[in-house]
Structure formats: C-alpha cells, structure tokens
Amino acid sequence: MYVLIVYDVEEKRVAKVLKFLRKYLNWIQNSVFEGEVTEAQLTEIKMGLKKITNKEQDSIIIFKARNQKWLNKEIMGKEKNPITNFLD
Amino acid sequence: MYVLIVYDVEEKRVAKVLKFLRKYLNWIQNSVFEGEVTEAQLTEIKMGLKKITNKEQDSIIIFKARNQKWLNKEIMGKEKNPITNFLD
C-alpha cells in the first residue's frame, strides 16, 4: 500500500526520525516521506516511531491509500527530491 | 475532491502562504493543509500559490484524491488541530 507520512517533531528528535523513516520510505520534502510498504512494514514503522518520538510533544500523521493511483501528486516550484515526479 | 497540500517555503513567505491556504483548507500540522475543494477552487489555490511563492526556492506538493474515503488518515502523538480525527 501507498503511505505518506508528515511529521512535526521537536528539533532534538528530527534527525532520529529522518534516519529511521529513510529505511522504509522516500524523503520528498522537509518532514514528509512517501512510499510503498507492506502491512508488516507499516506496523514496524509505527512501533519504531512510537519508540523514538514523544507523544505529548510530537505530531505524526500517516495517510494510507490501498492503491497509489487513487492519489494524484503534483509538484509546484522546487522539487526537493527529484526521484519520481509522479508515482510510478 | 479531497486535497492535501504540504509545503516547504522560505521563512519570509510562510505567514502569507498560511493566511492564503486557510481561506480554502484546514491546517492540520506545520506546513500541512487538507480539505474538500472543487476543481475551480483548486485552480484558484494553485494560481494564488504561484503568485505568493518563489518557484526557485519554495516547494509545494499537492495530493488529490477524487474520493476522501480512498485515503485513510491516522494520527500518532499530539493532534495539532483536533477538528476531526478522521475525515468525516
């Protein structure tokens, strides 16, 4: 399934979250990751994020779409991570 | 249609983008807006963003889904804007 994660975490935890999410997903913009993952990987992601973030201070939103094609993506301005313009 | 906008703009333009997008969408996290808009409104949003941002320096990604239900949303940690936990 396609997953998009946006997060707003305290400065001291940003590097850890970045390093962790890079193992599973593509960085596309500051505090924004996307990619295809399995249900098991998503569970790992959630458990890992729980460990390295503070639920009172940090905010993480996970968007899931069973099919990538249901979500059209359009980039305006600078493309921060030009891996794919459109999800292939 | 459901729209999710994530942006990474130069500090001096953040307030302007925030004020502009608030007219159309719900703020859910730093640099993240979502909501239901018509095709015409989305065109207005894009034109407005073009005017108030710098395409060499700023990055805006617009995700669109024809149907909100295709995109499941899960919040971990602090809910920055507790209007709706799940898209109703």
Confidence label for A82 from pLDDT (cuts 50, 70 and 90): low
Instruction: Annotate A8-41 with b (16+ C-beta within 10 A) or e (fewer).
Output: bbeeebeeebeebbeebbebbbbbbbbbebeeeb
Q: Does domain A2-66 have CATH number 3.30.70.240?
A: yes
Q: Which two tokens stand for residue A80?
A: 């921060």
pLDDT in tens, A18-76: 999 999 999 999 999 999 999 999 999 999 999 999 999 999 999 999 888 888 999 99
ipTM for the predicted complex comes to 0.87
What's the pLDDT score for residue B67?
Answer: 81
Residue A73 touches chain B, beta carbons under 8 Å: yes
Q: Which residues pair with B65 in a beta bridge?
A: B2
Residues 13-42 of B with CB under 8 A from A: 28-32
Tell whether residue A8 is among the known ligand binding residues: yes
Q: Do A70 and B70 touch (CB under 8 A)?
A: yes
pLDDT in tens, B2-34: 999 999 999 999 999 999 999 999 999 999 999
Q: Does domain B2-69 have CATH number 3.30.1360.10?
A: no
Who among A6, A70, A80 is closest to B65 (CB)? A70
Who among A53, A55, A75 is closest to B61 (CB)? A75
